[in-house]
Amino acid sequence: MAGNVDTLRVKGGVAPGDVVMTRPLSNGANNDLVLTITGTGDSVRIQDWFSGSEYRAEQVVFDDGTVWNATKLQTATIMEPSATTR
C-alpha cells in the first residue's frame, strides 16, 4: 500500500550510537535484521527483513529525532559470518 511506512521507535534515551545492527545467521540464512543496545544487550529482531520489502520496517526513529531509513539499515548492518567461514 502506497504511503505505508512501518516504523520502529526507539525510546528510553537510547542514542543511535548505542545501537548495533547485525545480520546473524539463522536457520542457514542471513535474512533477519537485529538491532542490539550495546549497554544492555537488549535487542529487536525483524524476521526476514533482508528477504524483501514486504518484511521491512522502513525506518527506525530515535527519541533525539534521528531517523535511520531502509538504505541506512541495509548498508550499516554487520553481516555475521556463516559457520563455514568461521
CA distance 84 to 18: 30
What confidence score (pLDDT) does residue 77 get? 86
Q: Is residue 85 part of a domain?
A: no
In a domain, 84, yes or no: no
Residue 66 has pLDDT above 90, yes or no: yes
Closest Cα partner for 19 from 49, 62, 51?
62
Looking at residue 1, its pLDDT comes to 47
Q: Using CA atoms, how far apart are residues 64 and 20, in angstroms rounded to an integer? A: 17
Q: Is residue 50 part of a domain?
A: yes
CB-based contact 58:67 (threshold 8 Å): no
The whole-number pLDDT of residue 86 equals 45
Q: Which domain holds residue 45?
A: 7-76
42: which 3 cell numbers?
Answer: 537488549
Phi-psi region of 46 (alpha: psi -120 to 50; beta: other; left: phi over 0): beta
**Number of compact structural domains in the chain:** 1
pLDDT tens-place string over residues 8-43: 999 999 999 999 999 998 777 889 999 999 999 999
Domain annotation covers residue 29: yes
